[in-house]
Amino acid sequence: MKTLDAYECEGQISLMDDSGNIKQLLPGSMPTLETRAEANESVDREKRYAQITEILGKYREASAKQIAVIMHAKGLIPTSERNFTAPRLTELCQKGIVEPCGKKRCIYTCKTVTVYRLRDLKTVEG
């Protein structure tokens, strides 16, 4: 196996495109921005919002990771990775549907995490 020392670097990266052609990229170019945007557009936000609000309605308060674990157990997402829920929680907060209500130590990561709950829209509106 070659070590990194054996490879020459001329300031370009070679990638293969969908057609099998080699494409040269300059340092700093980000093909991940394209794939990230494509993945972001493929998410059915309304469906995910409904799933998250249903879980928060049942459990009252939960972290992004806890919601992801529940969703994974129900077969709604392929893994229990919090990145399936955290962006949608941020969006739901911006819409005024969900709010952060505290912090706690995550049982999965042992890190301090934000806990979310549904906002009481009756008291906000009336």
Q: How many angstroms separate the CA atoms of 77 and 73, rounded? A: 8
Report pLDDT digits (tens) over 3-24: 444 445 554 455 555 666 666 6
3-class state of residue 81 by DSSP: coil
pTM: 0.68
Which domains, ranges and CATH numbers included, belong to the chain? 9-40 (no CATH), 44-125 (1.10.10.10)
Please name the residue that has the structure tokens 């739901």.
92
Average pLDDT, the chain: 82
Residue 46: count of CB within 10 angstroms of its CB: 8
Question: Of all helices (H) and strands (E), which one includes residue 35?
Answer: helix 31-42
Q: Please list, residue by residue across 12-23, b when 16 or more beta carbons sit within 10 angstroms of its beta carbon and e when fewer do.
A: eeeeeeeeeeee
